[in-house]
Amino acid sequence: MVVAVATQPPSDAAKKSKTKAKARYLKKKKDRRKQRKAEDKHGGASAVVPHTPEPEANENTSSGSENEAESPVSTQAALEVKQPPHKRRKVDSNVEQDSEEHTSDSDSTAESVVAPHEEIPPRESRAKSPTSTVGLPSFPLPVAPDAPSKATLALQGLDKALLGAEVVDPSKTLSINALDTGRNLNAVDLPVVGEKMKKRLQELGITEFFAVQTALLPFLLPPQRRSRALYCPYDPPRDVCASAPTGSGKTLAYVVPIVEILSARIATRLRALVVLPTRDLVLQVHETFEAIAKGRGLKIGVVTGQHSFAHEQSQLVATQKDLQGGSSKIDILICTPGRLMDHINGTPGFTLQHLRFLVIDEADRLLAQSFQGWLAQVLNALRPPVRSVSDAVSSLSLGSSTLEILHHDALAPTFLPHIPTDYDDPKHSSCQKLLFSATLTRDPARIAALGLRDPKYFVVQGVADTKEKTSAAEAFGMEDFAMPAGLKEHYITTSTSRKPLMLFHLVHKRNVTNALVFTKSAESTARLVKLFEYFEEAYFGSLEIQHTERRRIIAQAYSSDLPPGERKNILERFKKQETDILVCSDLVARGMDIPHVTHVVSYDAPVDIRKYVHRAGRTARAGRAGDAWTLVEEQEAKFFKDMLRDAGSGRLERVARLRVRDAELKDMEESYDIALQKLKEAYSRNVVS
């Protein structure tokens, strides 16, 4: 654009003014020459040089070659007056500075000597065309703004409700009798948990509520009786998302309210559905429900695919007819998503229309995997089939099959045919969705897929857990996952070939027993257990060890490769502490609650931070202490450290590196070599599957 202005042919007026200026200039030049000649004639080199007026000197800047031919004095004069920045500033700013406008006359004269055909000078020294918009300020140079902080970026696009999350201090506990303190209760209001529930909790050894429970129970169990109703089509409850560390008591935070509210029911309908990612977790949560609901008359069922489909159907529904209102034999169903789909699609009389609670535990895991599009199907089953108004009216007047819909008394209010009235208040499903995880997703798209109703977020995270200058809510937005307070984290860097030896070192020299050892696959669990057995055999056969007090360690494999019955037995043995170590795949990385586990070893380093958090969280549960160890192969070390660093909260600094000296491994090396040799032979004979 600047170039275009400089090369524009001057207007007629400009041309005239240029010609006049040039004539003046040439005349003066001629005069000077004459004067010099006259001086030379009189031998007067020392004669006084007349003062060159500024505009003329300026003109000289554009005809340098002529100046060079002139006397040194005039060259000096030209140099003195060149001052392009100073002159340019005058021209550039003459719009802003009125007083300087008057100087533009001579300036424009100076500019006029720049012929259009001349070479374009550099931008700074370039003269402007008289027609150019000399008064316009120059464009500001682009300046890169400061990069937003990681916290600010993390909050971009997040659900508004998430930004307004209620942050709960993880160290907060309340006596089960103190939960109502601070509430303004009327005479008709209900306490958070009734006397029956308190009694039951005390029988189970629970005397105080953990942080997540102190926040969720008052929210899910409001004092007003109508807010605890089984159906609330005109005033449906808000949905809840809770993020709290592993082992912080999330299960009781939903089991207690569900049992409290459903205990008021008269007829059995399916009113609570709990979805979990694995069969083992379904059985564990079932045990908790049975324990808490004891004596309340609620019927609790599970479907996991462990039994035949027909058997499960007979447990679920009373009549296998396609009844509009369903025919449930249970009040609460705990299930895996796959089997739930089978029953939604294949069990007549099975319906979700009466649901008061839909719990999605380990929500980030369940939402990350489609499981036959289970979520869309469940959400669909909560809504009544779309029927036009005319259909509803005609169903009133017509007999036969359509009337059957109206006569069936088990329809949930939202599913009853809509009869238009003058005052039409839309009815909503009474189902309250409750989402739980230690690593709850912040992905807005995943959350949106749930169609949450005015969701309330609870985040159990201490400010101490978070990075400097970052609030707990921001940390939550940054997927800065909180860890249990009693957890100590360590890692060991090792070569691949010595990794099993490091594990044996931890077991025998650092008392890492009552441990869960995680490998990357079901197949590697079996191989590691076999190697462990061969090592124990060789090590305890050696002379040195026979005189010590050390005992042989028993390890067992636990993975999805095993049949369900065998898995159950292995878990029982471990829970009874008949085995010392359970070598497992990530099947039990989430949710499994085995109180006596004091150590977790990631034999194969976890590939993402969520996996790390859930594996480590199998220990240090319910306020206890525990140690998490990670064996990191040398080539994985950078990735592992980067993963921890990116996780925030100074996670990397909290994971201590343990250096094991060669001397500490010496007495095990021979047995290790023997074990490796035996394993090789066993594989070549196909002994290990």
Ligand X SMILES: Nc1ncnc2c1ncn2[C@@H]1O[C@H](COP(=O)(O)OP(=O)(O)OP(=O)(O)O)[C@@H](O)[C@H]1O
Binding site for ligand X (CB under 6 A): 206, 208-210, 213, 244, 246-252, 438, 591, 593, 595, 617, 621-622
Say which residue the tokens 């060259």 belong to. Answer: 75
* Shortest distance, position 602 Cβ to ligand X, whole Å: 16
Cβ count within 10 A of residue 216: 28
Q: Pick the closer one to ligand X by CB: 36 or 198.
A: 198
Q: Pick the closer one to ligand X by CB: 209 or 476.
A: 209
Quote the tokens at residue 637: 């070390």
Q: Pick the closer one to ligand X by CB: 216 or 450.
A: 216
Which is it for strands 208-209 and 174-175: parallel, antiparallel or unpaired?
Answer: antiparallel
Phi and psi angles of residue 575, each rounded to the nearest 5 degrees, phi first: -65, -35
Q: Pick the closer one to ligand X by CB: 50 or 595.
A: 595
Three-state SS string over 422-445 comes to CCCCCCCCCCEEEEEECCCCCCHH
Q: Pick the closer one to ligand X by CB: 171 or 495.
A: 171
* Shortest distance, position 363 Cβ to ligand X, whole Å: 11
* Shortest distance, position 624 Cβ to ligand X, whole Å: 9
* Shortest distance, position 436 Cβ to ligand X, whole Å: 7
Cβ count within 10 A of residue 377: 16
Q: Pick the closer one to ligand X by CB: 276 or 411.
A: 276
What type of residue sits at position 74? S
* Cβ pair 297, 308 in contact under 8 A: no
* Cβ pair 300, 329 in contact under 8 A: no
Q: Pick the closer one to ligand X by CB: 58 or 278.
A: 278
Distance CA 28, CA 59 (A): 12
C-alpha angle 521-523-529 in degrees, rounded to nearest 5: 105
Distance CA 605, CA 419 (A): 61
Say which residue the tokens 């209900």 belong to. Answer: 190
* Shortest distance, position 594 Cβ to ligand X, whole Å: 9
Cβ count within 10 A of residue 483: 23
CA gyration radius, the chain: 41
* Shortest distance, position 298 Cβ to ligand X, whole Å: 19
* Cβ pair 483, 616 in contact under 8 A: yes
Phi and psi angles of residue 273, each rounded to the nearest 5 degrees, phi first: -125, 125
Q: Pick the closer one to ligand X by CB: 181 or 421.
A: 181
Q: Pick the closer one to ligand X by CB: 252 or 526.
A: 252
* Cβ pair 638, 506 in contact under 8 A: no
* Shortest distance, position 499 Cβ to ligand X, whole Å: 27
* Shortest distance, position 601 Cβ to ligand X, whole Å: 17
Q: What is the DSSP letter of 629?
A: E
How many CA atoms does the CB half-sphere of 267 hold within 13 Å?
12
Q: Pick the closer one to ligand X by CB: 55 or 245.
A: 245
Helix axis angle, 309-316 relative to 337-346, nearest 10°? 70
* Cβ pair 471, 514 in contact under 8 A: no
* Shortest distance, position 652 Cβ to ligand X, whole Å: 23
* Shortest distance, position 648 Cβ to ligand X, whole Å: 19
Say which residue the tokens 């079996």 belong to. Answer: 526
Quote the tokens at residue 225: 């009786």
Q: Pick the closer one to ligand X by CB: 271 or 615.
A: 615
* Shortest distance, position 155 Cβ to ligand X, whole Å: 24
Which is it for strands 599-602 and 515-518: parallel, antiparallel or unpaired?
Answer: parallel
* Shortest distance, position 244 Cβ to ligand X, whole Å: 6
Q: Pick the closer one to ligand X by CB: 249 or 606.
A: 249
Q: Pick the closer one to ligand X by CB: 398 or 622.
A: 622
Q: What three-state secondary structure class fits 397?
A: helix
* Shortest distance, position 666 Cβ to ligand X, whole Å: 39
Distance CA 635, CA 28 (A): 83
What type of residue sits at position 88? R
* Cβ pair 433, 275 in contact under 8 A: no
* Shortest distance, position 447 Cβ to ligand X, whole Å: 19
Q: Pick the closer one to ligand X by CB: 245 or 325.
A: 245
Distance CA 163, CA 568 (A): 42
Q: Label residue 170 left, alpha or beta by phi (over 0 means left) and psi (-120 to 50 means alpha).
A: alpha
* Cβ pair 326, 317 in contact under 8 A: yes
Q: Pick the closer one to ligand X by CB: 331 or 593.
A: 593
The closest of 319, 339, 328 to 298, measured between CA atoms, is: 328
* Shortest distance, position 280 Cβ to ligand X, whole Å: 12
Report the first-to-last Cα separation within the chain, whole angstroms.
77
Q: Pick the closer one to ligand X by CB: 458 or 672.
A: 458
* Shortest distance, position 553 Cβ to ligand X, whole Å: 25
Quote the tokens at residue 290: 């049975």
Phi and psi angles of residue 584, each rounded to the nearest 5 degrees, phi first: -135, 160
State how far Cα 408 lies from the chain centre: 46
